[in-house]
Amino acid sequence: MIFMPETKEKELTESQPSGAQRVPAPCVMVIFGASGDLTERKLVPALYYLSRAGLLPKGFSVIGCAKTPYTSETFRDKMQQAVKKYLDVPSSDYQAVNDFTQDVHYIADDFGNPTAYDQLKSLLDHLDNQRGTGGNRLIYLATPPSFFPVIVGHLGSTGLAQPKQQGETWTRIVIEKPFGRDLTSARELNGIVNGAFKEDQVYRIDHYLGKETVQNLLVFRFGNGIFEPFWNRRYIDHVQIAVAEEIGIENRGAYYEEAGLVRDMIQNHVLSLLSLITMEPPAIFEAGAVRDEKSQVMRAIRAIPLDRPSEFAVRGQYVEGWTEGQKLPAYRAEPKVSPQSTTETYGALKLFVDNWRWADVPFYLRAGKRLPKRISEITVKFRRAPHLLFRGTGTTSIEPNHLSIHIQPDEGMSLMFNAKIPGTTMKIQPVTMNFRYEDAFGAAPQTTAYETLLLDCMLGDPMLFTRADFVDLAWELLTPLLNRWKEDGRKGLSFYEAGTWGPPEADAFIERDGRKWQEL
């Protein structure tokens, strides 16, 4: 069964505001760490996508900043190849790619050195005059987190953190995750950032929040009249959130040894999904109101009892395994990883949101590297029917209904319910109704989420970005557990073969509660 939209073309036209396709004011985007993987794989391809869609302003320009000794010409060539590769651009569009990259510039310098910012300031002023960018600047930190305080400090001391003309131009900064590595470091970083920028200039990016299905959660919950009445403890038994990755750590051993799975995935992506699933309806659809409700969820999450952490958390690490005939190395065999490492590559948590709506409903979160497939999914498990009416027909049990929200790779939603199998006897079988973007709208979402988020930054819309108080509350929840794991060392660390769904202890973890993980 397929859900199809029934909206008529006229209704769509009338329901959209006149400014539905918003184009920002002319601006320059400055990318620190421009020679890195993020710029090549995500940022510049996303900007090209926006350009082809007519969503970039006239005169829009990019300045890449890094130590790698490129010239503007060699950097443009590199970005041209990146766009063609990662967007699978047909040869007929190669000229358009080349034209787009003519507005890309590069500065090779050590941006730990304050004199490097003189060169940046000079190029920004030149582009304002030549390209008409008006003094509007979007600054993107695509560097390792250790460089954040250094760059932010220099931006503040050189005056580049403040708008060129107060009240007439804007300057905004985008900061990649992880924002800190624990509560103390996050607060220190917030102090540094807010010493140079005002909070409304700061955009802490989590690319998951730009995915179509994640954004659709708000429409699903608050744009329909049939779901919200049973979106509570009375009808929902538990909720599962899973973020599985098929890949390993991809030559990021040094980073992962410092971070681990909880810092890399759960503190940001997974807790953001949890907040959207559980938040109360905001008074208005406006960034401040939405982010207020997300932070309220974080305040309501019960602290993890550290006297019995194994009842509420499992940590695992992958060992050698196989997938499709290919041998996969153990985490400890990865480059720049300690042979005695206790860093987790898998994590499972059980959390409770202690408020009126969700009291006593468990939320099971799990994420991991080197699992069988790349998939992110939220599953809402409803309570069983209160009485087995069909016992006399030979039916001994009926599956509880569940709603699955598929975030990646196949974005959509599915609702499982029970139905009678055709025939002369009463036999019951679960069936599923599916909503898929491709079926409903003719195509699956083509964006990578960065397109939406970069455009929102230029427009000054922070709704899909993480506010300082949310970051603080997330670290307040997880830092005690991370500290406990560090103290425990090898004790309590479970292992799983690469290419499997995690350690056996994770299955026992949820089965102790009489539940099981949803098959992804």
Question: Could you list the active site residues?
Answer: 269
Which H/E stretch holds residue 64? strand 61-66
Query: In terms of C-beta density within 10 A (0-12 exposed, 13-18 middle, 19 or more buried), how is residue 11 classed?
Result: exposed
* CA distances for 220 relative to 46, 414, 435, 462, 494, angstroms: 26, 12, 12, 21, 37
Residue ranges of the alpha helices (H) in 337-461? Answer: 437-441, 450-459
Structural contact between residues 509 and 348, judged by C-beta atoms closer than 8 angstroms: yes
* Strand intervals (E) in 236-319: 236-244, 313-319
Question: How far is Cα of residue 257 from the mean position of the Cα atoms in its chain?
Answer: 21
Residue (of 202, 109, 112) closest to 161 by Cα position: 202
Residue (of 24, 41, 252, 227) closest to 142 by Cα position: 41
Give CA–CA dist 508/516, Å, rounded: 9
Which H/E stretch holds residue 493? strand 493-497
Q: Give every strand in the sheet of 313-319, ordered side by side.
A: 428-436, 412-420, 402-408, 375-382, 236-244, 362-368, 346-352, 313-319, 493-497
Residues pairing with 202 in the sheet: 173
Structural contact between residues 405 and 396, judged by C-beta atoms closer than 8 angstroms: no
What is 124-191 written as a DSSP string?
HHHHHHHH--TT-EEEEE-S-GGGHHHHHHHHHHTTTTS-SSTTT--EEEEEPSPS-SSHHHHHHHHH
Type of residue found at 88: D
Q: What long-range pairs does 67-71 form, CB within 8 A, spacing at least 24?
A: 67/35, 67/108, 67/109, 67/110, 67/111, 68/35, 68/108, 69/108, 70/35, 70/106, 70/108, 71/106, 71/108
What is the largest distance, in Å, between two alpha-carbon atoms of the chain?
A: 84
Give CA–CA dist 457/172, Å, rounded: 8
Q: How many Cβ atoms are within 10 Å of 84's Cβ, its own excluded?
A: 18
Question: How far is Cα of residue 209 from the mean position of the Cα atoms in its chain?
Answer: 5
Residue 382 has which token pair?
């409803």
Q: What angle do CA 365, 371, 375 make, to 5 degrees?
A: 65
